[in-house]
Amino acid sequence: MRILKRRSELWNIIISEPSNPYILGADQLFSREFYQIVESRLADDGLFCQWIQTYSTDADTFSLAINTLQSVFPYVYPFTTNGSDYLFLAANHLLDAKDYNTLLATYSNNPKIIGSLNQVNVRSTEDILGKFESWPLVLS
């Protein structure tokens, strides 16, 4: 959060992988204030990726985190990971074919990304898309 507060440039992607929401300090990385700071630092077509685990988080806390994220970003796309973790891709725009083509080009042209995703059994862009839970997630 400090880096985002101190720097004014816009980012194409911001990724947050905090600890559990109930950990003192990490709870701020699930707050509306944090998401508003993130949103203000994203380029117009930027994306925010938020990791949320469920193995030590109750349903109310999990729902609160997602609803807070959705209170700032109108489009939130959930991906499953290993069964107890989720990645939420948040944006101010509906993802479309242009975004998919960017994903495909980025994945295909970056051996570091390919290697990193192979470690979590993601071996293609189809594997990434296959981890969608719904399009988009709506909780109330």
For the stretch 31-45, pLDDT in tens is: 899 899 999 999 998
Q: How far apart are the first and last CA of the chain?
A: 27
Residue 90, φ and ψ in degrees, nearest 5: -120, 145
Question: DSSP label at 99?
Answer: H
- pLDDT tens digits, one per residue of 2-57: 677 788 889 888 888 766 656 655 666 668 998 999 999 999 988 898 888 777 77
pLDDT tops 70 at residue 137: no
Looking at residue 5, its pLDDT comes to 77
Helix (H, G, I), strand (E, B) or coil at 46: strand
| pTM (2 d.p.) | 0.76
Q: What is the pLDDT of residue 21?
A: 59
